[in-house]
Amino acid sequence: MSALDIIVEDPHLLVVNKPSGLLCVPGKTEPHCLAAQALVYNANCRVVHRLDMATSGLVVFAKSHEAQKGMGHLFERREIHKTYHAVVQGKPIQEQGDIDLPLICDWPNRPKQKVCYESGKSAQTHYQTVKYGQDNNVTLLHLTPITGRSHQLRVHCLELGHPILGDNLYNDGTTQTLAKRLLLHAAKLVFRHPITQQDMVITCESAFDHYLS
Residues 6+ apart with CB under 8 A from 83: 142, 143, 144, 186, 187, 188
Respond yes or no on whether the N-terminal peptide bond of residue 31 is cis (omega within 30° of 0).
no
Check 5, 10, 52, 199 and give the catalytic one.
52
Q: What is the mean pLDDT of residues 32-57?
A: 96
Query: What percent of the chain shows pLDDT beyond 70?
Result: 97
52 noted as active-site residue: yes
Euclidean distance between CA atoms 62 and 199, whole angstroms: 17
Q: Is the pLDDT of residue 24 over 70?
A: yes
Contact criterion met (CB below 8 Å) for 147 and 113? no
Q: Is the pLDDT of residue 158 over 80?
A: yes
Q: Considering only CA atoms, which of 155, 19, 145, 6 is closest in space to residue 84?
A: 145
Q: What is the mean pLDDT of residues 163-181?
A: 84
- DSSP per residue over 109-171, as a string? GTT-EEE-TTTPBP-EEEEEEEEEETTTTEEEEEEEESS--TTHHHHHHHHHT-PBTT-SSS-
pLDDT number for residue 3? 84
Q: Is the pLDDT of residue 28 over 90?
A: no
Out of 21-30, 161-170, 188-197, pick the least confident. 21-30
Confidence of residue 171 (pLDDT cuts 50, 70, 90): confident
pLDDT number for residue 172? 66
Mean pLDDT of the chain: 94
Q: What is the mean pLDDT of residues 182-197?
A: 98
Q: What is the mean pLDDT of residues 173-198?
A: 91
pLDDT tens for each residue of 92-142? 999 999 999 999 999 999 899 999 999 999 999 999 999 999 999 999 999
Confidence of residue 177 (pLDDT cuts 50, 70, 90): confident
Confidence of residue 27 (pLDDT cuts 50, 70, 90): confident
Confidence of residue 195 (pLDDT cuts 50, 70, 90): very high
Q: Is the pLDDT of residue 174 over 80?
A: no
Q: Which domains does the chain carry? A: 83-184 (3.30.2350.10)
pLDDT number for residue 2? 58
Phi, psi of 111 (to 5 degrees): -90, 15
